[in-house]
Structure 1
Amino acid sequence: MTDAEIGDLADAFVACTLPKERWTHGAHFATALWLILRRPDIVPERDMPGLIRRYNESVGGVNSDMSGYHETITQASLRMARHVLAAQPEGVMPSAAFAALMASPLGDKDWLFAYWSRERLMSAQARRAWVEPDLEPLPA
């Protein structure tokens, strides 16, 4: 994905104009990286919950204990995106950071299950608030 494509994707997400079928695993990470690197007005850890909830509703989704926004997945993904960025050279372009992230174990949509049991991660509690991993701690 090019820098322009990542920027367009992130802008469409924020504007709630991104088609639902384009909000994929990769799109989540591409958007997170773009916001971290190119949108100093947005603090992802603080602002992504509201942005995701608003986006979900804009495409007809529901944010509940069973679907929609998931706090633990969002915050874990942001931590891991920052972890990948910390290993990149200063001034890294979003496309290069995205390529590095997707080439890592994070490129697998099931990466979270190396850290959380399915039962714990898919719980209503983990959807509502941060829940620590029960299998392996996230990298510092």
Structure 2
Amino acid sequence: MTTEYVPRLFERDAEIRMIGEGLLACALPREAWTHEAHLGACLWLLAERSDIDIDVEIGPVIRRFNASVGGVNDDHNGYHDSITRAYVAGVRLFLAQTVETGLAARANALLLSPMGRRDWPLRFYSRELLFSVPARLGFVEPDLAPLP
């Protein structure tokens, strides 16, 4: 029997801002850098930090954070460029479509939406391509469907 993944939802806007600020300051505990935190931070960056060019800075921000908590960014671990960029596209799509206005409400709706699913990038990429070294190290165009 397989059980469907149920995301941990956010209780307050401040929780998401703390994750985003902790990511930027490399002050977030490693164990707090969950799937939900990744998406919450991405949503916060896009919705509230227009001073940050996410398309240019997301890779360096996450790589720097990973290194700060003892992680390694290499061919098999750490930052994954194509997955990150697929989620950035998904969060942008979600923000363009949502009617939610509060940060936590938007983040929770995102986590419960198709764009928030852990397997969402596999709508665009074959597993083989998505989990390849080139796709981890740099953005690779999807092979199944274009990103939104």
| TM-score, normalised with respect to structure 2 | 0.87
1:106, CA displacement in angstroms? 2.7
Q: Distance in 2 between matches of 1:11 and 1:51?
A: 11
- Runs of at least 4 residues of structure 1 off by over 4 A? none
Per the alignment, residue 141 of structure 2 pairs with: 132
Q: Report the alpha carbon displacement of residue 38 of structure 1 after superposing the two structures with TM.
A: 1.2
- Select 1:42's aligned residue among 52, 62, 67: 52
Q: Aligned-pair distance for 1:108?
A: 2.3
Deviations 1:49-101 (A, max 9, x none): 11000000011111111111111111111111000000124x82221221221
Whole-angstrom CA distance in 2 between matches of 1:49 and 1:64 = 13
Aligned counterparts of 1:131 and 1:124: Cα–Cα separation in 2: 10
Q: Aligned equivalents of 1:47 and 1:92: distance in 2?
A: 25
Aligned to 1:116: 125
3-12 or 127-136: which moved more?
A: 127-136
Deviates more, 1:104-113 or 1:53-62: 104-113
Q: How many residues align?
A: 138
Aligned partner of 1:95 in structure 2 is 104
Matched residues in 2 for 1:35 and 1:109: separation? 20
Instruction: Return 5+ residue gaps in structure 2 as ranges.
Output: 1-9
Aligned counterparts of 1:108 and 1:87: Cα–Cα separation in 2? 16
101-110 vs 64-73, greater mean Cα deviation: 101-110
Aligned 8 A contact 2:126 2:143 in 1: yes
| Partners of 2:111 and 2:123 in 1: CA distance | 16
Contact 2:75 2:136 in 1 (8 A): yes
User: Counterpart of 2:85?
Assistant: 75
Distance in structure 2 (CA, Å) of the matches to 1:54 and 1:8? 17
Residue 55 of structure 1 aligns with which residue?
A: 65
Q: Structure 1 length normalisation: TM-score?
A: 0.91
Gaps of 5+ in 1: none
Query: Within 2, Cα distance between the matches of 1:80 and 1:123?
Result: 21
Q: Which amino acid aligns with 2:135?
A: A
